[in-house]
Amino acid sequence: MTVLRKRSDTFPYGRWLVCRPQDYDVRYKINPWMDTSRAPDKALAREQWCTLHHHLLRLGAWLEYVDHAPGNPDMVFTANAGLVRGNDVVLSRFRYAERQGEEAHFRAWFEVAGYKVHSVSRGSFEGEGDALFAGSKLFCGWGFRSDIEAHEEVGRIFNVEKLILAKLQDPRFYHLDTCFCPLTNDVALVYPGAFDPEGLENLRSSIELLEVPESEALHFVCNAVVLGRSIVLPAGCPETYRLLEGRGFSVYPVHLSEFIKAGGAAKCLSLRLEQMI
């Protein structure tokens, strides 16, 4: 007798969208990390991406791939494709012209994959870069790349029970996922200095916060991929690893120096397609 199993039984940590770094580069500057005179080492970037990819697979993630459309050097950062809940996706509407060319490619991928595709009508919205679910709560960062009115529209599209808005104030942490990462429905990593006081208070009253030091936030330690109790995150952040291990998580550090040159790391390089926490 054949027993049909849900894919989520076999791959308990969900599906993720990634993009091989075929045309990855730093060709313009839209955040303080990018410096066109400090090009990423392409071979090393490929190696680092492959190590990340290997960890995700080996820890039980199911990966989907979108082709890297030439001429869109930041397309590897699939977290910015949009925000997914069930079979619905709200596509990103990028702040800067430099990334707007990616929108049609991501749209095509979601359409072919059978998603119901939505867009925001006003303001800019940069997907999971600035909007992260923790159970029924949606945490939203604004101030640099995404706008409040866009987040509110996303909240209505997904019928979100609780939308938590937090203003980002430090340009080095220009996306929410550079300084905040839900680990479960109840606890999140955070670099407090990235938020204005009211934004930080909004976060604190909605979820328990585990604070990381600035030195490790600058290594993108909050830019982590959470697969159940396993966390794949940037290398070189021992204090945060101890913090996480003390809470029962296992950490899998990966060197991502070549992507940090564009202002992104592990989480930016993946988009959650199925919500498992």
Contact call for residues 239 and 212 (beta carbons, < 8 A): yes
179 classed as catalytic: no
For ligand ARG, give the closer residue by CB, 107 or 267.
267
Q: What is the signed CA dihedral for 127, 269, 264, 215, rounded to 10 degrees?
A: 110
Beta carbons within 8 Å of 273's beta carbon, 6+ residues apart: 14, 15, 16, 17, 64, 84
Contact call for residues 61 and 227 (beta carbons, < 8 A): yes
The single residue listed with the structure tokens 């606890």 is: 187
Taking the complex as a whole, the smallest distance from the CB of residue 28 to ligand ARG amounts, in Å, to: 9
Among residues 68, 175, 179, 181, the one annotated as catalytic is 175
Taking the complex as a whole, the smallest distance from the CB of residue 176 to ligand ARG amounts, in Å, to: 8
Rounded to an integer, what distance in angstroms lies between the CA atom of residue 64 and that of residue 69? 16
For ligand ARG, give the closer residue by CB, 227 or 265.
265
Contacts to ligand ARG by CB under 6 A: 30-31, 34, 74, 77, 79-80, 99, 129, 175, 177-178, 262-264, 268
255 classed as catalytic: no
Taking the complex as a whole, the smallest distance from the CB of residue 270 to ligand ARG amounts, in Å, to: 9
Among residues 181, 222, 237, 268, the one annotated as catalytic is 268
Rounded to an integer, what distance in angstroms lies between the CA atom of residue 142 and that of residue 148? 6
Taking the complex as a whole, the smallest distance from the CB of residue 94 to ligand ARG amounts, in Å, to: 8
For ligand ARG, give the closer residue by CB, 203 or 268.
268
Query: Which are the catalytic amino acids?
Result: 175, 268
